[in-house]
A and B are shown apart, each in its own frame.
Chain A
């Protein structure tokens, strides 16, 4: 590199900030004395000197530096709060030959994005992270940040940050340094020219490593926020030195730049055929059941199945969807349940139709299978006029309130009980559905049972076959 004879606005900046709205396309939006501008300058200078401007993609955060894309040359993403490492992961993996910079503040990186940065660092993503620690939320008006010092007064800690209620400041560089993968971890500061030069060196080391694709680089930069701290810029320098340095000691915590090797990731498999092959799905295993005659009203089904948790609600829905698939329908199955495995309420939506399915939830079903009273009361209201309601008359002792729908009271639990095991009620419901709609033949459902009850012995399969028949026959004989 030729020796410089002029120190001037580096070429890593755009000549004209064309993306910045308004008339002032030649200066930054930052407050007087803001550290962002200094760090921006060091990064832009390094981009120029390392000749990486055209190969650098900068991820702007949320915070005052949200508009970093106004200033830097190179490619840009502006991402939601805290998500820069996640987006940086995608960008760097999709563009392994590029240099990815994640520029983040302390609220962004250490609060809402705390998990994102840890996971990206732990994976050793090929990202250079510049973390501006100014101990406060600047953009939003000076609230407490994870890095706010003990006793520091902010708009949300008017009595000062109290560890008893607010914890102690997070030392992010030390936390990142606990992980195995990062290549370079440093904490530097902007509080005087000597330290700005150390920051400059750290920025250059991080970007040199990034240029060589040597994994994850983390540079924490102690910076001033005169507006948030309500101090003059020059007083801020002293405040960093006296207040921040004892809590955030400076130095290179880790430098494996020399021994680090470029990150090599497995070649992604993007070809659909190869993915299917890997998943063992190349062979067409569909049974290709022939469809019978289905009445117009049952040709396009939107089904809600509901009951107590443990009644096999989800199974009923899954079996309906999978059987329908074998008849060549498009299907969807969408579960909805509470946290309980047993005893709560549960419902699922199933769509069966020839058209592409838009929404998976059966908002206005033309079929409801209600396994208990609350489910019937809840979902009959949602049904379209003329729809069909199969309800479990063993447990539902009332009649439906709607008169503009077709009601099929079927003692589903009772039929299962007669077979000796109430657990087969879910399959009784499938049989009843087949009989009401004419959509499936019972023998086709029975053929598929071994698939639904994998690993179960023959007596269980046979019991479920009887349950399909019981539900089917009950409907055929009574309606």
Chain B
């Protein structure tokens, strides 16, 4: 992926609750058909369209499952 904003999702931390999907104003998150290592259908970014609102980050109960890279993010330089 080369452009920001976009979410980064760690499938193994996801418990498939769907709160991020419900929170996404652009409907660019979806629950996968696939299962993660814990047996949950996990959340996936469906592609372009993220506006970096952070709703999914703040709606997700699992601390490390979702990271959102905002518009001004530069790879390798995390603020």
Contacts and interface: CB of A to CB of B under 8 A. Distances in A.
Contact of A200 (B22, B58, B73): B58
A193 to B, nearest CB: 4
Given A32-B17, A33-B18, A7 B68 contact: yes
Contacts of B63: 9-10, 13, 27-28, 37, 40-41, 44, 71
Contact of A226 (B17, B22, B55, B77): B17
A23 B73 CA distance: 33
A7 B67 contact: yes
Given A33-B15, A33-B17, A38-B58, A6 B79 contact: yes
B33 interface: no
Nearest to B68: A7
B70 interface: yes
Contact of A38 (B40, B53, B61, B73): B61
Main secondary structure of the interface of B (DSSP, over half): loop
A2 interface: yes
Given A4-B79, A6-B79, A38 B68 contact: no
A27 B38 CA distance: 12
Given A234-B19, A234-B22, A37 B72 contact: no
Contacts of B74: 5
Interface in A172-216: 192-193, 196-197, 200
Nearest to B67: A8
Contact of A42 (B18, B58, B67): B58
B67 to A, nearest CB: 4
B38 to A, nearest CB: 9
Contact of B61 (A5, A9, A37, A232): A37
A38 B59 contact: yes
B60 A234 contact: no
Contact of A41 (B16, B61, B73): B61
Contacts, number: 104
Nearest to B8: A8
Nearest to A30: B61
Contacts of A142: none
A28 B61 contact: yes
Interface residues of A, number: 37
B70 A7 contact: yes
Given A5-B72, A5-B79, A6-B78, A233 B58 contact: no
B35 interface: no
A6 B70 contact: yes
Most buried by A among B18, B19, B64: B19
Contacts of B54: 7
Contact of A5 (B16, B58, B65, B69): B69
Contact of A27 (B21, B23, B59, B62): B62
Contacts of B64: 8-9, 26-27
B78 A33 contact: no
Contacts of A42: 58
A33 B19 contact: yes
A36 interface: yes
A3 interface: yes
Interface string B37-57: 000100000000000011101
Nearest to A193: B55
Contacts of A305: none
Most buried by B among A6, A10, A27, A42: A6
Contacts of A28: 61-63
B2 to A, nearest CB: 16
Nearest to A12: B63
Contacts of A34: 61
A387 interface: no
A35 B19 CA distance: 10
Interface of B: 13, 15-19, 21-23, 40, 53-55, 57-74, 77-79
Interface of A: 2-10, 13, 26-28, 30-38, 40-42, 44, 71, 192-193, 196-197, 200, 226, 232-234, 237
9 contacts: A5-B71, A5-B78, A6-B68, A10-B63, A28-B62, A37-B62, A38-B58, A233-B18, A237-B22
A-B complex: 3 closest residue pairs judged by Cβ atoms: A37-B61, A33-B17, A32-B15
